[in-house]
Amino acid sequence: MRSYRFRKLENRIMISLAYVALVIALIPLASILIETISNGLSAMSFSLFFEEIPPLGQSGGGIGPAIQGTLIVVALASIMGVPIGVFSGIYLAEFRQSRIASVARFLNDVLTNVPSIVLGIFGWVLVVVAIGWSVIAGAVALAIMMIPIVTRTTEEAIKLVPVNIREAAIALGVPRWKTTLTVVLSSAKKGIATGILLAVARISGETAPLLLTILGSRFWFSGFTQPTAALPLTIFNFSQSPFRTVDLPRAWGASLILIFIVLAINIIVRYATREKYG
Amino acid sequence: MSYKIEIQSLSAWFGSKQVLQDITMKIKQNVVTAIIGPSGCGKTTLIRCLNRMHELTPRAKVTGRVLLDGEDIYGENVDPVTVRRRIGMVFQKPNPFPMMSIYDNAAAGLKLNGIADKHRLDEIVEESLRAAHLWDEVRLELGKSGASLSGGQQQRLCIARALAIEPEVILMDEPTSALDPTAAAKIEQLIRVLAEDYTVIIVTHNMQQAARVSDFTAFLYLGRLVEYGSTKDIFENPKSELTEKYITGEFG
Amino acid sequence: MNAHRKYPNFLSKFKTASRKKLSGDSAFKIIVMLIACNIFLIIGLMIFKIAQNSWLSIQTYGINFLWGTTWQPFPPNPSTPPSFGALPLIWGTLVTSAIALFLGVPISLGISLALSEFAPRSFNYVISFFVELLAAIPSVIYGLWGIIILIPFLQNNVFPYAQTVLGFLPFFQGTIRGSSVLTGGIILAIMIIPTISAISRDVFAAVPSSQREAIIALGATRWEKARIVMRYGRSGVIGAIMLGLGRAVGETMAITMVIGNSFNMFTSLFEPGSTLASIVANEFTEASSPPVYISALMEVGLILFALAIVVNASARLVIWRSTRKIKEVEMF
């Protein structure tokens, strides 16, 4: 029988270790945020947003095309991915018992876990081989990354709609499909929007799928079938530069903008959904 | 007086469990018919068969006929959706659409069925809310969310919503059991008034309510129709011993 | 209300509704089903296309690709054919993932226990929020931070001590480099912590309070209670760890930026290395010729894909079985 004193001591130690673990995990987070914010802020300037990207090592210029590129590619990916994701989610929620739905749900999970570089390869194989390094290729790769996320969150949101809301509409003589598209969707719209926003935040930060599809560029957008710049890619390129004094501040600046976009979306979404339980 | 609904040999199952056994009864037009019985006797299943909502449950089955003005609603080519437009339903727990305003709730059935003319909608919404005895309380706040009303008001809103699509029959599944006594009393009053224009069928586990509100009463036990007659007869002179036991509170 | 005399009944009587029953519903079902089937198309096409493009490499190198240790797209002697092999890459992927798990799992468990068993609830909300924020940070920013902050820190402050203490092991010998396998493992550990701890926290939260109450009634300390919770949720935690492993295996950018990108069967963790993902990220855009070069990279991608799927599918199986077990016990 272990003595009570020993157990108390063990208890103290273990709990302290658990809290230590917590601190250890939060240190990198704090460091990343602090470094990005402080280094990024010092790189902030008007020209950062609006000038073209200079070659490595050359001072001046900005990362305007990267911001523009990210916005365009993400928007295009969303236009492709969101409708497919939402309607797939509707199918999985409304026809849950069907065998096709079970297999589709499983495959969706599989797709969520495909390494992002493989999605880049797929984008290359599918689009770049046909039309070259292009915005469309990047958007396709990102859309494929987005679809399973949106599908899953849409399905969950619809499952949460209480049965009595459906029954109320059905009892009014509304056919099932109309009930789903009007009353049910409308009731689930907050959850669906949340899922979409989180998916957008996720793909905005992805580099690997874009690395093999849009290739990157220093110039402003010049067409959907042309390569273009994007924030994550630009950060990567600058990070590899031998001319650190010139290029690293730009990398931090771009990082600040990117992290701002991604974290802002995440924080807003989490705040908005927490209100419900508050 | 004519029979609005004739139920002929209606049986219903949940999977392999039979919940209604061979129910046959004729429901008169423009009266209030109450269906009473202990929990689990099948009364909710019965009315859900009348607007073809029972079959929505997976593995649910129905046999028999239900004639609405002489036509079987379970007929070959009948679309259940149209049945539900003629036979409306109010549920036990008030279920207004929370993301819609009071106005939109009342108009929901109309809008979803394609009526878009604002003028017409305004008129029907007002009439339905009046008919549900809710107009005076909400007329200045039609834009507020449907869920912001009290329980009793929400239920009346659901009644207005059902009335707006001009059904001929109104089914009510324990409409007051989730409400406080004052709200319940208001609804009971409303039910008596509604019977002037509609055929009302109400399920209730509250016998006193049945006695107060209905003209005819049916007593169900374990899925069988035990006795059916005028409310006065059922409560004062029940023919079956079982009925008498239930009425006097010996069980259920 | 006599309104239904006022307006003609605009809702047609059902007699005229002898149209085909539920045609709207069937059309809807078919349309959304077809859209949902996009997933079959995507996965099928992905596997097919990548396999197709790897075919050249598979044919050329056969099964030896898996244990080949050379990577020469442009051999110095022009008469020798290019040679490719994936063993150092598989080795790199496995070792970095192992380091990530070794470091990440205890920390994740510590966090999830701290949050679910030891800390007050309000604390829980706020801290979970921050831990989840870690998960939202883009990989490339981890990489940038890794290059500029983590590498110098480790190289100057941590690795030398590690070598002094653990230098008797072959893994900790040799020249210390900042861009190394060990750094890669460390950054992966940081990245998988949110995944493992979030799922573990959910698993622990699902443990019925009756279990906790039972052990507390016997006079247990908080740590002893936590041990019961861990034991109960063991399979769920294993699933969480496997999902973390899946994430580590597939991680690309951060690791490419700190691992040094050297194709070598390293023995010391202080050496640079490569992973399946990092080599594709580094070389794909430049690999225009010879054709077998891109094909070899495709094959690497295929191996990575297969590895990720196997790990993740197993993880989900484990998690699914564990939640079923918990439900079975609860039915008592």
What is the share, in percent, of chain A residues with pLDDT greater than 70? 97
The first and second tokens of residue C113, run together, are 């226990």
Q: Would you say the C-alpha torsion B79, B81, B82, B84 has a positive or negative sign? A: positive
Residue C163 is predicted with a pLDDT of 86
Going by C-alpha positions, the residue among C237, C285, C304, C270 that lies closest to residue C66 is C304
Contact C134 A19 (CB under 8 A): no
Please give the pLDDT value at position A185: 93
Question: Which residues of chain C have a CB within 8 Å of the CB of B71?
Answer: 14-15
Q: What is the pLDDT of residues C217-245, one digit of tens each?
A: 888 888 888 888 888 888 889 988 998 99
**Tell me, what's the pLDDT at C325?**
65
Q: Tell me, what CATH number does C200's domain have? A: 1.10.3720.10
Supply the pTM of this predicted model: 0.86
Residue B40: predicted pLDDT: 83
- Here the tokens at position B245 are 């036991």
User: Residue C327: its pLDDT value, please?
Assistant: 59
Pick from A160-174, B214-228, C3-17, C211-225: least confident: C3-17
Run of H or E residues at B9: strand B3-14
Residue pointed to by tokens 């580094």:
C282
Positions in chain A short of pLDDT 50: 276-278
Output the pLDDT for position B2. Answer: 74
What dihedral angle (degrees, nearest 10) is formed by the CA atoms of B139, B143, B145, B150? Answer: -10
**In this structure, is residue C288 part of a structural domain?**
yes
Q: Are C239 and C311 in contact (CB under 8 A)?
A: no
Residue of A77, A118, A94 lying closest to C45 (CA atoms)? A118
- Under the banding of pLDDT at 50, 70 and 90, the label for residue C18 is very low
Q: What is the pLDDT of residue C328?
A: 59
Chain C residues touching residue A107 (CB < 8 angstroms): 39-40, 43
State the pLDDT at residue C321: 76
- Rounded average pLDDT over B64-82: 90
Specify the pLDDT at position C79.
83
- DSSP 8-state assignment for residue A161: S
Pick the more confident residue, A202 or C328: A202
The predicted structure's pLDDT at residue B221: 92
Tell me the residue range of the domain where C207 lies.
Answer: 83-330
Please tell me whether residue B3 adopts helix, strand or coil conformation: strand
Indicate the burial class of B68 (C-beta count within 10 angstroms; 0-12, 13-18, 19 or more): buried
Q: How many structural domains is chain C composed of?
A: 1
Cα–Cα distance between B45 and B62 in angstroms, integer? Answer: 10
Rounded percentage of chain C residues whose pLDDT exceeds 70: 90
Q: Which of C173, C188, C306 is nearest to C256 (CA)?
A: C188
C120 domain-assigned: yes
Tokens matching residue B60:
């649910």
What is residue C9's predicted lDDT score, i.e. its pLDDT? Answer: 46
Would C26 be classed as within a structural domain?
Answer: no
ipTM: 0.90
pLDDT in tens, B146-194: 888 999 999 999 999 999 999 999 999 999 998 999 999 999 999 999 9
The Cα–Cα gap between B90 and C268 comes to 74
C109 interfaces chain A, CB cutoff of 8 Å: yes
- Residue C76 reports pLDDT greater than 90: no
**In this structure, which topology does domain B3-247 adopt according to CATH?**
Rossmann fold (3.40.50)
B55 touches chain C (CB under 8 A): no
Average pLDDT, chain C: 85
Per-residue pLDDT, averaged over B128-150, amounts to 91
Q: pLDDT grade, residue B132 (50/70/90)?
A: very high
- Is C57 contained in some domain? no
CA angle, residues A143, A144, A145, in degrees to nearest 5: 90
Picking from B73, B77, B115, the nearest residue to C18 by CB comes out as B77
> Is the Cβ of B165 closer than 8 Å to some Cβ of chain A?
yes
Cα-to-chain-centroid distance, residue C33? 29
**In this complex, do B82 and C2 lie within 8 Å of one another by their Cβ atoms?**
no
Q: What pLDDT was estimated at residue C1?
A: 42
Between A137 and C325, the more confident residue is A137
First to last CA, chain A: 46
Is C199 a domain residue? Answer: yes
- How many helices and strands in chain B, by DSSP H and E? 10, 10
Residue A247 and residue A54 in contact, taking contact as beta carbons nearer than 8 Å = no
Using a CB-CB distance cutoff of 8 angstroms, which residues of chain C are in contact with residue A175? 22, 24-25
Q: Is A216 left (phi over 0), alpha (psi -120 to 50) or beta?
A: left
Lookup: tokens for A252: 């931090």
Q: How far is A33 from chain C (nearest CA, A)?
A: 9
List all residues of chain C from 67 to 96 with a beta carbon under 8 Å from chain A. none
**C75 domain-assigned:** no
Domain-located, residue C130: yes
The confidence score (pLDDT) of residue A1 equals 59
Residue C51 binned pLDDT confidence (cut-offs 50, 70, 90): very high
pLDDT class of C8 with cuts at 50, 70, 90: very low
Which residue of A lies nearest to C25 if distances are taken between CA atoms?
Answer: A177
* Mean pLDDT in residue range C260-274: 90
- Using a CB–CB cutoff of 8 Å, tell me whether C313 touches chain A: yes
Q: Is A216 helix (H, G, I), strand (E, B) or coil?
A: coil
* CB-based contact B95 A175, cutoff 8 Å: no
What is the DSSP track for B175-241? TTTTS-HHHHHHHHHHHHHHTTTSEEEEE-S-HHHHHHH-SEEEEEETTEEEEEEEHHHHHHS-SSH
Chains touching A, CB cut-off 8 Å, 3+ pairs: B, C
What does the block give as tokens for B100?
């819609």
Q: What is the pLDDT of residue C6?
A: 39
Chain A residues with beta carbon closer than 8 angstroms to that of B98: 165, 187
Cβ within 8 Å, pair C4-B166: yes
How close B84 comes to chain A (CA, Å)? 4
pLDDT level of residue C70 (50, 70, 90 thresholds): confident
Q: Which residues of C touch A126 (CB under 8 A)?
A: 45, 49
- Is C177 inside any structural domain? yes
Cβ pair A31:C109 closer than 8 A: no
| pLDDT > 70? residue B250 | yes
DSSP string, C268-331: STTS----HHHHHHHHGGG--SSHHHHHHHHHHHHHHHHHHHHHHHHHHHHHHHHHHHHHHHHT
Q: What percent of chain B has pLDDT over 70?
A: 99
Distance from CA of C182 to the nearest CA of B (A): 54
Res C297 pLDDT > 90: yes
**Displacement of CA A199 from its chain's centroid (Å):** 4
